[in-house]
Structures are given as structure tokens and as C-alpha cells.
Amino acid sequence: GIQVEQSPPDLILQEGANSTLRCNFSDSVNNLQWFHQNPWGQLINLFYIPSGTKQNGRLSATTVATERYSLLYISSSQTTDSGVYFCAVRTGGSYIPTFGRGTSLIVHP
Amino acid sequence: NAGVTQTPKFQVLKTGQSMTLQCAQDMNHEYMSWYRQDPGMGLRLIHYSVGAGITDQGEVPNGYNVSRSTTEDFPLRLLSAAPSQTSVYFCASRLAGGPSVDEQFFGPGTRLTVL
């Protein structure tokens, strides 16, 4: 099946810093989502972005499908951004997404 | 809409006991799935369903059963609990169809401990 790799595995920032999280995938995809799992365990949709660029406030994401990667940008990070960020992809032949192992982000005040 | 709901939120079992984790959604989603989340492993797919009466295995199906008698409900059964099944379990759902409706939504999770 498709392989999904996220980097870095861990990230520690000071409040106000910017960061870039990366998701590489091993095959063509027709679906890619970014999720944030907050410290209480809740999984929250951030972006549905199989290609192109989207922005939502301080967060933005870019997927370059032809090169098989996606980037999640967090600007002016806040302590509430802490948690784990997951990338999930789905190929045309599968019904259910495959998840990467996530990037654990800690933002210190 | 309540979205995706799961019960219970927490459960402790003894080895060999059986139980059912409940999952329901009120969004009329065709696709439903169960994941388990273990430290450092991300989310791994246990079973999924593409509609009422249709289920299939995911990456880690052993020790679990599912059924889908209605569109709304997708229970996960542990037949004989083992300590290796200690995990956090997430149920998810999404609409079938094209990319414009391809977002997956998650329930709040069930934290299971098997002693």
C-alpha cells in the first residue's frame, strides 16, 4: 500500500515562531487531508487539499501532487497550536485514507 | 447535527472479556471506519464499511469484528480482549462520491485499557 512519511517527528517552538511540516507520499493520491489532534485527543480537520494551496488564518497548506508531497505552514504559532499534526492520503483504489505517524508540536509561551 | 459519536469514552477490561464499542453518525455518510491509535504509530485502520451490510478488513483486523446493519451505526466488537488491544479507538465517517465531498470526520475516541 501507499507509504506516508511525515517530518519532522517532533518540533518545539517558542510562541510567535513560524514552522513548516512536511508530508511525503509514495504514490499518486486523489485525496489528502491535514488533521490536528489537540492535547485532549480530539482530531480536527484542518485542510482537504489534494492539490494546490489553501489558507485559513495563520495556517496554510500546499500540495504538489506531481512531486508527491504536501506542506503545512503555521505562522505566528500559539500555545493552542500544540498537539500532533497528521497527514492522511487516499489513492484512487482505496476507500479509506492512510495516515502518517504525525508531527508532535509543542509551543512554549 | 451531533456528527460522529462514540461510547463509552473510557473502558477498562480484564483479559478475555468481550465488549462492544459503539459508533454512530447522523450525517448520512456512506463510509465508516475504525482506527486504533498507539504511541508513535499514528492511526491504523481496523475495519471499514462502504455502506449498510458491507464491511471489509483494514490493516489490523485480528481480534475485532464489525457489522453495519444501518447507515448510522458501526459497532466494533472485541471478542476476547488482550493487553495488546490497549489503545485509543477512533471511529470516522465520510460521504462517498467525488473529491468535493471527500472529507473524513472523527469521533471523540474511546480509551480502552485491558489488564
Q: Give the mean pLDDT of chain B.
A: 92
As a whole number of angstroms, the distance between CA B5 and CA B1 comes to 10
Q: Cell numbers for A81, please give them.
A: 497550536
Is residue B100 predicted with pLDDT exceeding 60? no
The answer to whether the CB atoms of B50 and A41 lie below 8 A apart is no
Question: Rounded CA gap, A19 and A40, in Å?
Answer: 22
Q: Give residue B95's pLDDT band: very low, low, confident or very high (50, 70, 90).
A: confident
**pLDDT of residue B112 exceeding 80:** yes
Residue B78 predicted with pLDDT over 90? yes
pLDDT for residue B98? 54
Instruction: Find residues 4-23 of chain A whose CB sits inside 8 Å of chain B.
Output: none
Q: Which residues of A touch B40 (CB under 8 A)?
A: 101
Q: Is the pLDDT of residue B101 over 80?
A: no
The 10s digit of each residue's pLDDT in B5-15 is 999 999 999 99
Predicted pLDDT at B1:
75
pLDDT at B19 over 60: yes
**Cα(A47)–Cα(B48) distance, rounded to whole angstroms?**
23
Compute the average pLDDT of residues A74-98.
90
Q: Report which DSSP code applies to A15.
A: T
Length of chain A as a residue count:
109
Is there a contact between B48 and A95 if contact means CB atoms under 8 Å apart? yes
pLDDT higher than threshold 60 for residue B77: yes
pLDDT tens track for A8-62? 999 999 999 999 999 999 999 888 999 999 988 899 989 999 899 999 999 999 9
Which is it for strands B10-13 and B110-114: parallel, antiparallel or unpaired? parallel
Band of pLDDT at residue A93, cut at 50, 70 and 90: confident
Contact state of A86 with B42 under an 8 Å Cβ cutoff:
yes
**CA A97 to chain CA mean position, Å:** 14
End-to-end CA distance of chain A: 40
Buried b (16+ CB within 10 A) or exposed e, A47-82: bbbbeeeeeeeebbbbbebeebbbbbebeebeeebb
Q: What is the mean pLDDT of residues B21-39?
A: 94
Contacts from A55-60 at CB under 8 Å and sequence distance 24+?
Answer: none
pLDDT at residue A94 greater than cutoff 90: no
